[in-house]
Amino acid sequence: MNNIVAIVGRPNVGKSTFFNRLIQRREAIVDSVSGVTRDRNYGKSEWNGKEFSVIDTGGYVKGSDDIFEGEIRKQVELAIDEADAIIFVVDVEEGITPMDEEVAKLLRKVTKPILLAVNKVDNAMREKDAVEFYNLGLGEYFTIAGMNGSGTGELLDALVKVLPELPDAVEEENPLPRFCVVGRPNAGKSSFINALIGEDRFVVTDIAGTTRDAIDTKYNRFGFEFNLVDTAGIRRKAKVKEDLEFYSVMRSVRAIEHSDVCILMIDATRGFEGQDQNIFWLAEKNRKGIVILVNKWDLVEKDTMSARDYEAKIRKEIEPFTDVPILFVSALTKQRLLKALETAVEVYENRKQRVSTSKFNELMLPIIERTPPPALKGKYVKIKYCMQLPTPTPQFVFFANLPQYIKDPYKRFIENQLRQHYNFTGVPIDIYFRQK
């Protein structure tokens, strides 16, 4: 599990530029979904051998100038609740604004590590101007220039020093699969879990300081045994405005990173909205198994929308990764809940399957021979050998004479062939081409 670092601050201070710089090193290595740019408000970063997840709270506020201070206030409060450390970005050009003072006021009450980053400091003159930020009462500050990256190193050195030590995951002999239930508020996550466990264990309480970590339950019924990681019985003390996208994404980050399979619940009466997609791509990016449950199916007028049309609509939204089980359930009437569990277990098994190298070559090489990668600049690409890598999630490497000439469409062709011949339903696959 990683520490979570939240970047907060008012609009237009350069949070996103700074965020992109932090995750850049990682993004260059981790393939993002081919040809798809998603909302970039979450990523992983690494500094001095310490890996952490970064959340840019700014990416969630729609429209930039007419933002209510209330929205930013909410985001800061949520970041304070959920993150392990907070980077507060301010802008040297504009100096301290009333909104900065508001944010600082919230942050001063917090015991978590807060790092103040004064952005856009790209010359000595501005270095002097930055001194006024001592007035925010947050102690030392770091001067950075998000655009060219100067000063980021010092800031990150300080950050990794103050990140709390996380308990090491204990390697168990036969670790139980970990399934997490994620989704927007009110999609029915608690009802689903209560229906499975057969008791109202996740009582939503308003008592300040109720645990806000993902709750783990050992589940052993109907011949299944696994850990259930729940994000549902968790509410902040203050009722958060329910439609705040940031809220459920931030909530889900921990649980998703900490699980093997994500059960994404969506509300059939609302459809597969932007926020559901955010959570879906978060799980995909973390290479987790995914099962989509369309809950409250008993409430949908069946004559207007059949399950088939509904499913087709969701698959359209999640392209190119469409090999994902979609089930229509009702937590209330307990319809198909066991099927949902069986499916999650299958996806877990799919995710850890190993393909023998000899069989894999026997299957793939003739396919590649029949449909080789297109020639480029008169040069022919030859793939001689392939294998599955010994990684926790399915990754395959193909050795070629000119790997740099192989483009995304061919990669997708190979992935489709793989999915046709092996059962990787619900599991993201990585395919690499390397120099022979």
Residues 66 and 109 in one domain: yes
Task: Tell me the three state secondary structure of residue 62.
Answer: coil
Q: Please indicate if the annotation marks 183 as binding a ligand.
A: yes
d(CA 130, CA 146): 15
What single letter denotes the amino acid at residue 9?
Answer: G
Q: Which residue has the higher pLDDT, 85 or 24?
A: 85
Q: Please indicate if the annotation marks 391 as binding a ligand.
A: no
Q: Please indicate if the annotation marks 85 as binding a ligand.
A: no
Evaluate whether 252 touches 211 at the Cβ level (below 8 Å).
Answer: no
Please give the pLDDT value at position 326: 95
d(CA 408, CA 7): 33
Please give the pLDDT value at position 203: 41
Report the largest interatomic distance among the alpha carbons of the chain, rounded to a whole angstrom.
70
Please give the pLDDT value at position 65: 47
Q: For the chain, what is the domain count?
A: 3
pLDDT digits (tens, 9 = 90+) for 351-405: 999 999 999 999 999 999 999 998 888 888 899 999 999 988 999 999 999 888 8
H/E stretch holding 140 reads none
d(CA 279, CA 350): 21
- The half-sphere exposure of 240 on its side-chain side, counting CA atoms within 13 A, is 26
Asked if the structure places residue 46 within a domain, the reply is: yes
CATH number of the domain within which 116 lies: 3.40.50.300
Asked if the structure places residue 18 within a domain, the reply is: yes
Q: Tell whether the model's pLDDT for residue 197 goes beyond 60.
A: yes
Q: Please indicate if the annotation marks 297 as binding a ligand.
A: yes
Please give the pLDDT value at position 248: 63
Residues 257 and 125 in one domain: no
d(CA 144, CA 142): 6
- The half-sphere exposure of 147 on its side-chain side, counting CA atoms within 13 A, is 6
Please give the pLDDT value at position 68: 55
Which residues neighbour 14 within 8 Å (Cβ) at sequence distance 6 or greater?
A: 89, 91, 119, 120, 146, 147
Q: Which residue has the higher pLDDT, 34 or 429?
A: 429
User: Exposed (0-12), middle (13-18) or buried (19+): which is 246, by Cβ within 10 Å?
Assistant: buried
Residues 376 and 314 in one domain: no
**pLDDT tier at 294 (50, 70, 90 boundaries)?**
very high
Q: Tell whether the model's pLDDT for residue 204 goes beyond 70.
A: no
Residues 342 and 255 in one domain: yes
Please give the pLDDT value at position 245: 54
Q: Please indicate if the annotation marks 13 as binding a ligand.
A: yes
Please give the pLDDT value at position 312: 92
Please give the pLDDT value at position 12: 79
Q: Please indicate if the annotation marks 11 as binding a ligand.
A: yes
Residues 309 and 380 in one domain: no
H/E stretch holding 400 reads strand 395-400
The residue from 352, 370, 397 where one domain ends is 352
Question: Exposure pattern of 52-68 as b/e (b: 16+ CB <10 Å)?
Answer: bbbbbbbbbbeeeeebe
Residue 409 tokens read as: 């469409």
**pLDDT tier at 210 (50, 70, 90 boundaries)?**
very low
Residue 358 tokens read as: 């000899």
Q: Please indicate if the annotation marks 372 as binding a ligand.
A: no
H/E stretch holding 324 reads none
Evaluate whether 144 touches 151 at the Cβ level (below 8 Å).
Answer: yes
Q: Tell whether the model's pLDDT for residue 127 goes beyond 80.
A: yes
> What is the domain range of residue 148?
3-162
Residues 367 and 346 in one domain: no
CATH number of the domain within which 418 lies: 3.30.300.20
Q: Please indicate if the annotation marks 191 as binding a ligand.
A: no
Residues 369 and 263 in one domain: no
**pLDDT tier at 212 (50, 70, 90 boundaries)?**
very low
Residues 17 and 132 in one domain: yes
Q: Please indicate if the annotation marks 274 as binding a ligand.
A: no
Residues 314 and 376 in one domain: no
Mean pLDDT in residue range 105-117: 91
CA distances from 379 to 19, 103, 383, 401 (A): 40, 58, 13, 10
**pLDDT tier at 418 (50, 70, 90 boundaries)?**
very high
Mean pLDDT in residue range 196-209: 47
Q: Please indicate if the annotation marks 186 as binding a ligand.
A: yes
Q: Please indicate if the annotation marks 135 as binding a ligand.
A: no
Please give the pLDDT value at position 2: 79
Listed residue (401, 363, 365, 367) closest to 381, CA to CA: 401
Asked if the structure places residue 391 within a domain, the reply is: yes
Asked if the structure places residue 211 within a domain, the reply is: yes
DSSP annotation of 379 reads: B
Mean pLDDT in residue range 339-348: 93
Q: Please indicate if the annotation marks 185 as binding a ligand.
A: yes
Residues 338 and 189 in one domain: yes
Residues 185 and 331 in one domain: yes
Please give the pLDDT value at position 363: 93
Q: Please indicate if the annotation marks 298 as binding a ligand.
A: yes
Q: Please indicate if the annotation marks 10 as binding a ligand.
A: yes
d(CA 393, CA 399): 19
Q: Please indicate if the annotation marks 139 as binding a ligand.
A: no
Please give the pLDDT value at position 216: 65
Q: Tell whether the model's pLDDT for residue 5 goes beyond 60.
A: yes
Q: Which of 41-50, 82-91, 274-283 has the highest mean pLDDT?
A: 82-91
Q: Please indicate if the annotation marks 120 as binding a ligand.
A: yes
Q: Average pLDDT over the chain, rounded to whole?
A: 80
Mean pLDDT in residue range 179-200: 78
Please give the pLDDT value at position 324: 95
Q: Tell whether the model's pLDDT for residue 35 goes beyond 60.
A: no
Residues 366 and 334 in one domain: no
- Number of H helices and E strands in the chain, helices first, is 12, 15
Q: Please indicate if the annotation marks 9 as binding a ligand.
A: yes
Listed residue (104, 258, 236) closest to 178, CA to CA: 258
Q: Please indicate if the annotation marks 230 as binding a ligand.
A: yes
What single letter denotes the amino acid at residue 194?
Answer: N
Q: Tell whether the model's pLDDT for residue 117 goes beyond 60.
A: yes
Q: Tell whether the model's pLDDT for residue 74 goes beyond 90.
A: no
DSSP annotation of 59 reads: G
Asked if the structure places residue 167 within a domain, the reply is: no
Asked if the structure places residue 384 within a domain, the reply is: yes
Q: Please indicate if the annotation marks 231 as binding a ligand.
A: yes
Q: Please indicate if the annotation marks 309 as binding a ligand.
A: no
DSSP annotation of 135 reads: G
Evaluate whether 273 touches 193 at the Cβ level (below 8 Å).
Answer: no
Q: Which residue has the higher pLDDT, 53 or 397?
A: 397
